[in-house]
Chain A
Amino acid sequence: MRRGARLYVVDPRRTSSARWADVWLGLDVGSDIALANAMAREIIAAGLENRRFIENATSAFEGYRESVESYTLARGEKITGVPAEVIREFAHAYARADRAQLCWTLGITEHHNAVDNVLALINLALLTGHVGRYGSGVNPLRGQNNVQGGGDMGALPDRLPGFQHVENDELRAKFERAWGAKIPPKRGWHLSGMFHAMEEGDLQALYVIGENPLHSEADQNRAERLLKGLECLVVQDVLLTPTAEMADVVLPAAAGWCETDGTVTSSERRVQRVRKAMDPPAGARNDMAILSDLAQRLGHGWGQPSAEEVWNEVRLLSPMHGGMSYARLEALGGIQWPCYDESHPGELFLHGRLWQEPVVGPRAQFSVVEFDPPVDALDEDFPLRLTTGRHLESFNTGVQTARYSSPLRAPEMLALSPEDGARYGVSDGERVRVSSRRGSAEAPVRLDDSLRPGLAFLSMHFPDQVATNLLTIDATDPKSGTAEFKATAIRVEKLRAPDAMASRV
């Protein structure tokens, strides 16, 4: 951290980021809303809320204020486990800062109440006015270079490119005119919805582009059963993933970052050019060419448009990309949307309008959100809280990273606190059976002093070694469709020696 910036890390585990932070708040898994609401109550009680901003630019504050009233510091401590004094310090530091950002990743969103978690954080930003100003804001950090771009381009069940809602007749009509085709007027399914539809028999054919759902979905037994039950599975990927191995048709794709032309969009909404530097291996083709051919076979003559031609179509239909010609993207080293026309420089930050008095456009609304514990409750049979996550040197299910060696990579191991290690009589490297209410897996143990008693950790990088998602729960957030990967109730049993021998074979 430089120039006097302060870092507060909120994470059940004492992660490597937490080590270099000013303060670490090691909350219990799934208690994020209780923490945020307790902070909000403390900020209001101490008179540190930004009254002027709230009155000018927000709505529903009174209801919010009443809803957080019961989240005293003592209650916050009781639910989260974080000492009241630390919550108080964090609340005051956040409220008093000239500029403050809330950044988060999957620890907020991989819960059954993911959207509520995010709303709880947005409430804090509205309460303190840390939004719509340079250096402030709410910022979901992306795990890949183009997660933002995928959403921007309409890879969401309810959106057309540029976040234009598919259920808005006027917007849909614009696209229909341009494309000369009818677009279904209702939103589609998100990933979890698709699996649900497979279960119901409503979905029989699946076309997967660049994803490995067999290993990345919660409750892997179920995922495998449903994928196997499909009439037709098509997988388009740069690598032969385990999902691709199950597929009826595999379409080998070119890599997006060096074998094709196009754009990507980073977390800060900056659209940047990527350029083809080499030809893909024989047989692999870029996604656009594959899709165009597919369209041709399905009776739509798209021709073989260049990346720039497709991009110019995006600019025509998505107002926020309107001013981003390839020439400007190159000249400016990327542009942050929105960029409506070629005289527009792009925007460094969003929501600046909230600071105009009186506010321009709709007010930002406070949302009432309540703490709701993880679905997979702890009890005598499943007394340990398992949370899942990533290691620095590996990527998701390992499709792209597991094939290469890394000096930092260790085999998958169940991380337990030293205290729990003693309690179960296991030491480093000894194998255990990990069981949840859905399944069980065997794993070697790693005693990790960044964990407190009662907390366990697994990554999902090595499904071949430990199928972590056999354990996780597919309780999903109704609004976002994200599963609660972060909170599983487990039991750990030491394997008897013969079992251990057998499992090594």
Chain B
Amino acid sequence: MSRDAEINAFHGAGGEVAGHFLSDLILPRFKDRGLGRIGLHALDDGATIDRPNQGEIVFTTDSHVVKPLFFPGGDIGRLAAAGTLNDLAVMGARPLALSLAVIVEEGFPMDRLDRVLQSFHDTLAEVDAALLCGDTKVMPHGDLDGLILNSSGIGIASPAVSDASFEAGDVVLVTGTLGDHGMTILLAREQFELQTDLASDVAPVWPLVERALAVGGVRSMKDPTRGGLAAALNEMARKADLGMTVRESAIPIREEVRGLSELLGIPALSVANEGKAVMVVARDRADAILAALRKHPLGMDAAIIGEITTDWPGRVILDTAVGGKRFLDMPLGDPVPRIC
């Protein structure tokens, strides 16, 4: 990346460019201080701090901007809470407490802020986590488009689960349908004048993760947010330097999402999810974990979608529904509708 270049939207979109941004600008500056097993340089969903004989503290942070601020299935308050809670959950950590920074534009309607904070509160309550500290900044009108939330969180894991400690033969599963959040936002934002019942899946996944951990055999987890399932799987495969084979026909996708994906030319597997986890689990525990997940309302559509291989290390192969084979590649950045 050249130094005189400018930041563009791709840098924050979780795809290939965001990866370069981290490896060029962030990682060389901040050394690993050895506080825990999983540090900054692991680029996992959170980092750990060792507490001898008492498990590990998991620490994470996330900033949230979304347009529109209120969307079918949730709002920026629920998104901020679930986003940070889920980063903790997929590290195997029971969420303990969050911070909340509110950066808001002068003139923002108080009743809207009230609704956002209530939904942040209600989402924390679902997993019995506390708000421990916070901050508010008001920006002059025009310096900010509405509202930005940042939330850091800590949780306790024993032990923490990384996103790349699996081996060939392990099984890949997802906790539910893919693409719901991304397609909902896209639809709400772009005003395509299409009517659907589609709603965001935004929700804390800890109840599902807790059930899976109780069964045992969970090797790795990730929440497929920006860049969707495609980005999450590629990141895991690259870090582990192992291949993944995924069966297209096994991936749960709602009919509405599938239809929109075809209509807009935007792959459902490349758009964000905010209430799902990808798990790599030991083969002999896969069925038991699946059964445990499906007993919870958030996990009804959980499915085994593939397995870890030694073919094509670092890459994800999709066995297509029609019987073909192709790479499922890392998305480049935020997808835009294909026009002509």
Does A associate with B in a complex?
Answer: no
Instruction: Point out residues on A near B: beta carbons under 8 Å.
Output: none
**Which B positions have Cβ atoms within 8 angstroms of A?**
none
